[in-house]
Amino acid sequence: MLRKCGAGWRLALAVLLTALSAGFSPDAVQAKGVASEAGISTVAIAELPVQGRNMVKLIYRGGPFKYDKDGSVFGNRERILPARIRSYYREYTVQTPGERSRGARRIVCGGFVATTPDACYYTEDHYASFRRIVQ
């Protein structure tokens, strides 16, 4: 039967059997994905500092942005946000009054269209923690 299905099917079956023998189950894999998002708290847009609320508006309008890094790819090296492909997340600066540099506050949005993100996250400690922005 496997001979008729081709090499792709045999490879997929081998990977599945290897994962199952290592103690993984489809339920465990799904629960792990849910847990990674569940560990992130939320913040309402209205609770963001005024600069954060303004940046959310700019993100949905497509700019203009003050800093060259705004809208650039965020690598998620800290692995706090849910794992996605490299180009999924973009970062934006949330200005801090009195700060001469970009400061520590950022909004990171995920999605493939910058002006309609799937989700946005706020950090006030330069990626040490995130809260998902909700309406």
How many residues appear in the chain? 135
> How far is the C-alpha of 10 from the C-alpha of 12, rounded, in Å?
5
> How far is the C-alpha of 13 from the C-alpha of 18, rounded, in Å?
9
Q: What angle do CA 48, 80, 83 make, to 5 degrees?
A: 115
Task: Count Cβ atoms below 10 Å from residue 48 Cβ, excluding itself.
Answer: 20
Q: Write out the catalytic residue numbers.
A: 91, 126
